[in-house]
Amino acid sequence: MAASLSDKNSSAFLRTPPAACPDDFLALAAGTVPRPMAFVRATGTATLETARDAVAAGLALPLLVGEAAQIAKDAAAIGWDLAGAEIIDANGEEGAITTAIALVAEGRAAGLVKGQLHTDVFMGGIVRRASGIRTTRRLVHVFAMVPPDGGRPLLISDAAVNIAPDVTTRTTAALEMAALLRRMGIARPRIAVLSATESELPAMPSSIEGAEVAVAAGAADGAADFAGPLSFDLAVSPLSASIKGIEGDNPQGRVAGHADAVVVPDIVAGNVLFKSIVYFAGGLAAGVVLGGRVPIILTSRSDPPAARLASLVLAAIAGQEEQE
């Protein structure tokens, strides 16, 4: 009698996320100077544990923005005496983001970390021109996907901010990731612009646009290699690239099979890709929004502590770069 698969499901693919941020990823921020980071509405154990761990790791000097009495109570609940942190009283979600933006304007905060408030309130305050956070560059979100046991990360954009990024926005993402990778110690980054094919097909707009992004980014940054369109397997698998004969001393040949970062065509592709790496490969997702006056960290209630700390590592690297 044939074996039944009725008791099996996709849970067989699931992997447990790492309990700690790998040491080699933490080491990337070892040369940075801890800077004040505003934790916006810093109530609740998750936000405060992240702030506490950031102090211990030398990643940030937390400015805990929110209801002062509640912050002190929640900190006591996790056994933190708030050493290395400062509480800045603010009332409610709107009050917290308004206060945090003012801290950036005054030069007191070098970054923003989302705490216990809705994303639309957090980002809504940031994107207003009057906030002074936006620059002439476009805001793009970048994930550094860290292998569970450490190793070279893979960067992904844009999986959390821009829903349907146009060619200009994707070009900005490619350039931001190249600059970030150099700050992470990769001398000549390799960036793949993804589609479902390596051919330019009129029926598949992302393939045509992928080529446009690669050309535009390459013209703007001669210290990195940009190739597109490439399918995901051709971007990351040397074997796939070899089988298809995508080799040679040209941008496509140098990137194929060895991409340090991938630019996705839209938020759905990016979201599915990063969550697949997290849930099926046990990867750690460190995320940061780049392109603003300061690095911005968007946290989720489902983010494990290690991912929150890894995001602060990424922000520390990006923030240091902004100061150079």
Number of domains making up the chain: 1
- Place 129 in a pLDDT band, splitting at 50, 70 and 90: confident
b/e per residue 38-76 (b: at least 16 CB within 10 A): bbbbbbbebbbbbbbbbbebebbbbbbbbbeeebeebbe
Q: What is the pLDDT of residue 302?
A: 75
Residue 177 lies in a domain: no
| pLDDT the model gives residue 322 | 46
Residue 10 covered by a domain: no
70 lies in some domain:
yes
The one-letter amino acid at 87: I
pLDDT digit string, tens, across residues 54-97: 999 999 999 999 999 999 999 999 999 999 999 999 999 999 99
Phi, psi of 230 (to 5 degrees): -135, 140
Q: For residue 156, is it within any domain?
A: no
Q: Rounded CA gap, 38 and 57, in Å?
A: 17
Distance, first Cα to last Cα, the chain? 68
Q: What is the pLDDT of residue 7?
A: 56
Instruction: Confirm whether pTM is higher than 0.85.
Output: yes
Distance CA 278, CA 18 (A): 10
pLDDT reported for residue 19: 87
Domain of 109, CATH number, reads: 3.40.50.10950
In a domain, 72, yes or no: yes
- Domain assignment present for residue 181? The answer is no
Quickly state the pLDDT bin for 9 (edges 50, 70, 90): low
Domain assignment of residue 54, yes or no = yes
- The dihedral sign for the CA sequence 288, 290, 296, 302: negative
Give residue 98's Cα distance to chain centre: 23
What range defines the domain where residue 295 resides?
16-136+291-324
Asked, for residue 313, whether it belongs to a domain, the answer is yes
Q: What is the pLDDT of residues 273-324, one digit of tens each?
A: 999 999 999 999 999 999 999 999 998 877 888 999 999 999 999 987 544 4
d(CA 261, CA 217): 13
Q: What is the pLDDT of residues 177-229, one digit of tens each?
A: 999 999 999 999 999 999 999 999 999 999 999 999 999 999 999 999 999 99
